[in-house]
Each structure stands twice: as structure tokens, then as C-alpha cells.
Amino acid sequence: MKKAPKTPEAIKRGVRTMAILTIVVGVFVLLSGLMPLVLTPLLDWLSSLPINHHNPQQRQALQDMYLTLEASKASAWVMVPLAVVFVVAGYRARDASEVGVEALRKAAWLTVLAMLAGGAIWLWKGLELDARAPIYVMGVGGHLLQAWLVYRVAVYLGSEPVRAAVTGGPAPPG
């Protein structure tokens, strides 16, 4: 069954929704990038509590959190600038203009590169610190999945129907 082509108005609504989601994701990525600055002192305090010295499960949980924060610290240099790109691109695309869609498309391609870099960082940290920790396998796999999904968005934003919708030209047939 062939899908009916989307109208230019529907495509513009979709772009506006992407713009809002990009701003929200940008704020989330910024907070995630800054998280190690706050959580490391908190974990230091938690590990100093006497109750954590006698419980092996709690010690292991704290160790896993420290390992995760190590990878987060290593990828913060990617996350914080990327968050700024997200917020700016989302803000520019909120009116579904040609310039805004181009900003979203460039941000998507930059995100693909950042996700591949993030996956490489998690792989490097996993091999350096503790290769058996499942959190690193999930980190690498998650970054690769995100890179593929954002690649699909970048391709969609560069497609002819989207370009025609935002420029006001005729939509291609079909």
C-alpha cells in the first residue's frame, strides 16, 4: 500500500515539531554533559559513608557509577557544544523556514558525527577502565543507534518534498 504524499503544511508542522524537540533535547544534553560536575562530589560523599564499606553490592554500585561518570566526563567536550548547536538550530527552525530547515539538517549531520565520536569514547573508556562492564556495551550500542536514527532525519530534511514545502515551490510528483 502506497502512502499518500504529505502536504506542504503537514511537512512544515513536522519541521516545527522537530524544532521544538531539538530545543528540548538540547537542554537535556546540556544537563547530561554537566552532570559529572555535580555527581562526582556527591558520589565521593556517598562512598565516604561508613554503611557503604560493609555492603559489597553498594560498593559495586558506586564503582559502576564512577565508571559511568568517567565516560561522561570524557564525552562532555562533545556534549556541551552539541547542546548549544541543538538549541540554536531548534530556535532557528521553529518557523519552518528554508534557513531553519538547513540549520536543523546541518545540526543532524553534526549529531551523526558526534554520536560516532561518543560511541568511540565509550568504547575507549570501556577498554581502558573495565571492559566487562555492560554499561559500556550499552553506551557504544546506544550511540551507534542514535547515529543511525539521526542520519535518517538528516536525509529526510534534505529530501525534495521538505525542500519544496519550505521554499514554497511545487512538491515533486508522487
- Work out the widest C-alpha separation in the chain, in whole angstroms: 71
Q: pTM to 2 decimals?
A: 0.75
Q: How many CA atoms lie within 13 A of 30 on its CB side?
A: 13
Rg (CA), the chain: 21
Cell of 47: 562512598
Q: What amino acid is encoded at 63 in this protein?
A: Q
* Structure confidence by residue, pLDDT tens digits, 12-63: 999 999 999 999 999 999 998 888 888 888 878 877 777 766 777 777 777 7
Task: Report the distance separating Cα 100 and Cα 106, nearest Å.
Answer: 10
* Structure confidence by residue, pLDDT tens digits, 63-108: 777 777 877 787 788 888 999 999 999 999 999 889 999 999 999 9
Domain boundaries, the chain: 8-166
> Where do the H-state alpha helices sit in 4-97?
8-48, 51-54, 56-93
3-state DSSP percent of the chain in helix, strand and coil, to 5:
85, 0, 15
Torsion of CA 6, 7, 10, 12, to 10 degrees: 110
